[in-house]
Amino acid sequence: MPTEERAPVVLLLIGDLMLEERVTAAARGVGLDARAIESLASLRTLEGAPPIGAVLDLASPRFPFAETLAALAAAFRGRPPLLALYPHVRDDLAATARAAGVEIIVPRSRFAHDLPQLLQRLANERPTAPDRAVQLS
């Protein structure tokens, strides 16, 4: 009996239903399984293979940046690669993410325009080992 091969998983830490739906559709189009995360606590209950990456809205109050990085690293023994989006008027969010070693950081406008290519790029990134993760205070 053949085993069903599952699509690689990308987590959505966004908190905006319309944006989550758009990302889910784009992820499906490039062969990824997008899973929306409701809260950081729910990361501990995920089953299956670790995600190949995560999409994080840096402006989402549901996912504070430092806490989100720590929760991802704890849940998966190293942080999965991140694709982070931010409002173009909040360069401070992008600078904080860049300083923490986030792999892909784009303003919302570019994110929406280049979504399939960005998801493909995310799928090609490698996880950050626990001993290489940047700690934020």
Domains and CATH numbers, the chain: 9-125 (3.40.50.2300)
Cα(135)–Cα(51) distance, integer angstroms: 21
Q: What is the pLDDT of residue 2?
A: 53
Q: What is the pLDDT of residue 6?
A: 84
Instruction: Output the six-digit token pair for 104.
Output: 């892909």
pLDDT in 10s for each residue of the chain, 137 residues: 455 678 899 999 999 999 999 999 999 999 999 999 999 999 988 877 789 999 999 999 999 999 999 999 989 888 899 999 999 999 999 999 999 999 999 999 999 899 999 999 999 887 665 444 444 43
Write the DSSP string, 30-83. Answer: TT-EEEE-S-GGGGGG--SSPPSEEEEETT-TTS-HHHHHHHHHHHHTSBPPEE
Q: CB–CB of 53/122 below 8 Å? A: yes
Q: What is the pLDDT of residue 131?
A: 44
Cα(55)–Cα(8) distance, integer angstroms: 14
Q: CB–CB of 49/9 below 8 Å? A: yes
Quote the pTM value. Answer: 0.88
Q: CB–CB of 101/81 below 8 Å? A: no
Q: What is the pLDDT of residue 133?
A: 44
SS3 of the chain: helix, strand, coil, percent, to 5: 40, 20, 40
Q: Please name the residues in contact with 9: beta carbons below 8 A apart, sequence gap of 6 or more.
A: 32, 33, 34, 35, 48, 49, 50, 51, 52
β-pair type (53-57, 104-107): unpaired
Q: What is the pLDDT of residue 94?
A: 96
